[in-house]
Amino acid sequence: MKGKSLISINDYSKAEMLRILDIAEGFEKNPRQPILSDKIVSTLFFEPSTRTRLSFESAANHLGARVIGFTDAATSSAKKGESLKDTILTVACYSDIIVMRHPLAGSARWASEVSPVPIINAGDGANQHPTQCLLDMYSIRKTQGKLDKLNIAFVGDLKYGRTVHSLTIAMCNFDTTFHLISPDELKLPSYVKQHIKDNNLQYHQYRTIEEAIDQVDVLYMTRVQRERFADPMEYENVKNSYILTKENLKNCKDNLKVLHPLPRVNEISENVDDMSQAYYFQQAQNGVYVRQALLSTILGVTK
């Protein structure tokens, strides 16, 4: 994995995913390890992001690395019309590894092909966000004590949510049963469902959280966006079905945890935040450990 870019979750085998999770566990126990004090990490954010950028920068800082970069394409030469290739070739002169987010799908793969230093994809348009996927897996393993044979429910926008697609595909390695809760307009795409079938695993589809809540170990919430609906009335009709409230969790299993990639708008009521099931802020915290594991592994510096 040393020197190898991480562009898509499909780039990692099951063993490689588990290795990253194991290394991340070590960083959770002991986060401040200045093992990258001679390294420079570039964070190139061609579109804004709060969590992903800050957690990468926090991870790099915990490891003692220096961080350079930009937080908005408007402050980079991309605004002057520089090609992505030229930006990457230039920045590679200044740093040992590049973390990038870009609005165009496939941009990270292209960057990895032209770059002499490894690239970590921090989101390429609607395509991939592999570090989110790994931190979700880390959070699942940590809260459930295992990854195998879990019942995972995805709630909300399962059609456009890239985190849902990547996590579903990754969890197909672990004998998962999937519970898919969404309005008809936002069902999981058929190619992802086919992937579940190809792995001889099961999925069940529902319209409401209540129908599935007593069976699941992990409830993964996503945001249902108004602009995804052709008919605004349809949005009004369904929007409340995908807002998680305290009442929804009455009949849940004892081990259930609620995850959300954040940012949240209103899809989880704030009165859920204090419940033992709420795990989304710890999930965001886990992102730092997983990104520490990735930076150190890809740079080939592990203790």
Partner 1 sequence: MKTELSVSAIKNGTVIDHIAAGQVQRVLAILNLSKYEEQIYFGANLESKKYGKKGIIKVSNKFFAPEDINKIALVSPTATQIEIRDYNVTKKEQVEIPNEIDGFVKCINPNCITNHEQVPTHFDVVDKKEIVLKCRYCEKNTGKGNIEFI
Q: Judge whether 101 counts as a catalytic residue.
A: yes
Apex 262 CA angle, 210 and 45, nearest 5: 150
Q: How many CB atoms lie within 10 A of CB 32?
A: 10
Bridge partner list, 33: none
Out of 45, 46, 110, 229, the only residue in the binding site for partner 1 (CB under 8 A) is: 110
Give the 3-state secondary structure of residue 120: strand
Q: Judge whether 85 counts as a catalytic residue.
A: no
| Binding residues among 28-67 for partner 1 as defined by CB under 8 A | none
d(CA 219, CA 5): 31
Question: Quick one: which segment of 24-32, 59-67, 106-114, 139-147 binds partner 1 (CB under 8 A)?
Answer: 106-114
Out of 85, 197, 246, 250, the only residue in the binding site for partner 1 (CB under 8 A) is: 85
Bridge partner list, 152: 178, 218
Structure tokens at 192: 């992802």
Q: How far is the CB of 73 from partner 1 (least distance, A)?
A: 13
Among 101, 142, 162, 165, the active-site one is 101
Out of 103, 232, 263, 300, the only residue in the binding site for partner 1 (CB under 8 A) is: 103
Q: Judge whether 141 counts as a catalytic residue.
A: no
d(CA 63, CA 162): 29
d(CA 143, CA 216): 13
Indicate the helix (H) or strand (E) that contains 179. Answer: strand 177-181
Question: Quick one: which segment of 26-34, 104-112, 195-203, 204-212 binds partner 1 (CB under 8 A)?
Answer: 104-112
Among 39, 53, 62, 129, the active-site one is 129
The answer to whether residue 104 forms part of the interface with partner 1 (CB under 8 A) is yes
Q: Judge whether 19 counts as a catalytic residue.
A: no
Residues making contact with partner 1 (CB under 8 A): 8, 10, 83-85, 102-107, 109-110, 124-128, 191
Q: Which residues are catalytic?
A: 51-52, 80, 101, 129
